[in-house]
Amino acid sequence: MDRKIPYKIYLKETEMPRQWYNMRADMINKPAPLLNPETLQPLTEADLEPMFCKELCRQELDDTTPYFDIPQEILNFYRMYRPSPLVRAYCLEEMLDTPAHIYYKFEGNNTSGSHKLNSAIAQAYYAKQQGLKGLTTETGAGQWGTALSMASAYFGLDCNVYMVRVSYEQKPFRREVMRTYGASVVPSPSTQTEVGRKILEEFPGTGGSLGCAISEAVEAASKKEGYRYALGSVLNQVLLHQSIIGLETKAALDKYDIKADVVIGCAGGGSNLAGLIAPFVRDKIKGINDCDIIAVEPASCPSLTRGVYKYDYCDTGMVCPLQKMYTLGNGFIPSASHAGGLRYHGMSSTLSQLYHDKIISARTAIQTEVFDTAQEFARVEGILPAPESAHAIKVAIDEALECKKTGEAKNIVFGLTGTGYFDMYAYKRFNDGDMTDYVPTDAELAKGFATIPDLEINR
């Protein structure tokens, strides 16, 4: 096998992107506007300012500016763990005996273990700039809470994390990493907030959910002077910050004149996928390179593939803005899947619009097959992947095997969003043969759909 392309394509520091890219500026059909949950009118910066920092409000609503300069302080932090490598998966290709060339962008090379740090540091920076005291947030699987804890520590901000109770109990070490970085961590639902107390009264002993933890963190931020809320996915600002992944990937491919034929990423709220694909979507819209873009979601939480395209709340407590998105309903409680980062009822409005316009496609993956893939990948490529990331690996392998049938030497690029060191409980279930697959029935999905608000615009 010829190995002219290095195993790892790194960019030099001087080649690193100095701007983020906002795909929405180039989209012909823009995502529908966010709505104020009280007035149901398009959201203004003033509506958002009690919740998020000023600059982030501006980024959230801007769908015309294509490039945003990355502030120097954020670039400095990025340089501690970026550029991340684009790896040529030679060993995987050999094992599959495929003519395809497989590349993955590895975002697990930082202590938080995932891509989430790319946005956490930006959100903490703008909070510091504005002279705030601290940030509140929720975390499900724990990756986002860890990233925001690290970022807050760097800028000397207080960080309060509402951690979904099941994770709080199942992942004590995640919790301790956050505390080591100085964050306070409470299990959600908690008795600290009104919405938490209400949910506990209604469902005593509940393990909590991401939607519920979001409601608690938003309430906490609104009641504490000098605090704002930070969210790790779904929002436009997060997608913007994550574009660093795609811009680096594209720059690395360009160095060796490689044209991507297929780009694949896992999709929870959609931030890593949107970040990875941003420059490829741009090229597709501009007619420069028409590659296949595939979102992979768990069969247990299939918002793109089985959801409906409607306005819905981003959280269970219905305090967050409404987004037009592919959704399973804000009241949909996903099964206790082991890919915690993908257990969200909706999909970012930008990805939803791209999916609706058929610029991207979507597939589902079944949990035990995902873990089979994760194990296979770990054994040949060495990296122990996060279960979320393994969804993308699964489809990359499917695509490479398809190439084996057709003899095509496609360039397949996928996002390896993080490591699985804190997911060993899930790996244990898999190794012990105790892991089960759950796919919701149509009747179960109907229950979730019934929680979508019955608004004029949704009819």
Instruction: State the residues that interact with ligand PLP by CB under 6 A.
Output: 114, 116, 143, 233, 266-273, 341-342, 386, 388-389, 417-418
| Cβ proximity to ligand PLP, 258 vs 383, nearer residue | 383
| Cβ proximity to ligand PLP, 102 vs 383, nearer residue | 383
Who contacts 383 (Cβ-Cβ below 8 Å, separation ≥6)?
Answer: 106, 108, 377, 416, 419
| Cβ proximity to ligand PLP, 353 vs 417, nearer residue | 417
Residue from 380, 383, 424 nearest 84 by CA: 383
CB of 272 to ligand PLP, least distance (A): 3
Q: Are 270 and 310 in contact (CB under 8 A)?
A: no
Report the relative pairing of strands 308-313 and 322-327 from DSSP bridges: antiparallel
447's tokens: 């229950």
| Cβ proximity to ligand PLP, 273 vs 365, nearer residue | 273
Length of the chain measured in residues: 459
| Cβ proximity to ligand PLP, 352 vs 389, nearer residue | 389
Q: How far apart are CA 82 and CA 12, in angstroms?
A: 10
Q: How far apart are CA 157 and CA 160, in angstroms?
A: 10
| Cβ proximity to ligand PLP, 135 vs 339, nearer residue | 339
CB of 97 to ligand PLP, least distance (A): 28
At 326, is the secondary structure helix, strand, or coil? strand
| Cβ proximity to ligand PLP, 215 vs 389, nearer residue | 389
246's tokens: 């795609």
CB of 131 to ligand PLP, least distance (A): 29
| Cβ proximity to ligand PLP, 136 vs 389, nearer residue | 389
Q: Are 217 and 186 in contact (CB under 8 A)?
A: no
Report the relative pairing of strands 8-9 and 86-88 from DSSP bridges: antiparallel
CB of 385 to ligand PLP, least distance (A): 8
CB of 117 to ligand PLP, least distance (A): 10
CB of 107 to ligand PLP, least distance (A): 7
| Cβ proximity to ligand PLP, 47 vs 297, nearer residue | 297
Residue from 302, 339, 330, 310 nearest 440 by CA: 302
Residue from 377, 396, 116, 140 nearest 272 by CA: 116
Tell me 76's DSSP state.
Answer: H
CB of 190 to ligand PLP, least distance (A): 22
At 423, is the secondary structure helix, strand, or coil? helix
Tell me 84's DSSP state.
Answer: P
| Cβ proximity to ligand PLP, 338 vs 410, nearer residue | 338
| Cβ proximity to ligand PLP, 100 vs 333, nearer residue | 333
| Cβ proximity to ligand PLP, 371 vs 403, nearer residue | 371
96's tokens: 């599959």
CB of 278 to ligand PLP, least distance (A): 13
303's tokens: 């918002």
75's tokens: 């670039």
Who contacts 444 (Cβ-Cβ below 8 Å, separation ≥6)?
Answer: none
Who contacts 136 (Cβ-Cβ below 8 Å, separation ≥6)?
Answer: 159, 160, 161, 162, 217, 218, 220, 221, 224, 227, 228, 229, 230
Q: How far apart are CA 334 and CA 312, in angstroms?
A: 16
β-bridge mates for residue 363, sequence order = 296
CB of 266 to ligand PLP, least distance (A): 5
Q: Taking the mean position of all CA atoms in its chain, how far away is CA 450? A: 26
Q: At what angle do helices 172-180 and 143-155 cross, to 10 degrees?
A: 10
CB of 133 to ligand PLP, least distance (A): 26
CB of 200 to ligand PLP, least distance (A): 26
Q: Are 275 and 306 in contact (CB under 8 A)?
A: no
CB of 345 to ligand PLP, least distance (A): 13
